[in-house]
Amino acid sequence: MYRQGDILILPVPEGEVPASVRDLPPSPRDGRGRMVLALGEATGHAHALSAPGSLLRVPDPLAPDHLHLPSGGRLVHEEHAAITLPKGWYKVVRQREYVPGTVRVVAD
C-alpha cells in the first residue's frame, strides 16, 4: 500500500482485475506524456507517472481508478517525495470528504 498526499495506491493481484476494467480504454496522457492520477485544482501540481503503462478510469468520479505498470514506475508530485512502484496492477483511490448531504473527492 502506498500513499502520496490525497492519493492511496493499493496493489491488486492480476487475477483480481475485473474484465470490465481491462476492457476500458486507457486515459489519455497529458501534454508532457504523463499519466496524471490527480491534478491539483488550486496549485496545478499533479500526481503523475511517465512510465509505460495505462491508467483506466470508470466514469464515476468516486470509483477507484486502475493503473497497470508492466515494468514499474515512479510516482512524482511537486510537494511530496517520489514513490517507486513495482510492476503490476493497482487501484488508485482519491481521498474523499463528507460535505453535508454528499461525499466529494478532496481537492488539492
Per-residue pLDDT in tens (0 to 9) along the chain, 108 residues = 998 888 999 999 999 999 999 999 999 999 999 999 988 765 668 999 999 999 999 888 788 999 999 999 999 998 889 999 999 999 999 876 566 766 555 555
Say if CB 96 and CB 104 are below 8 A apart.
Answer: yes
Which pTM value belongs to this model? Answer: 0.85
Region for 22 from its dihedrals, namely left if φ exceeds 0, alpha if ψ lies in -120 to 50, beta otherwise: alpha
How many other CB atoms are found less than 10 A from the CB of residue 75? 25
Domain residue spans of the chain: 2-94
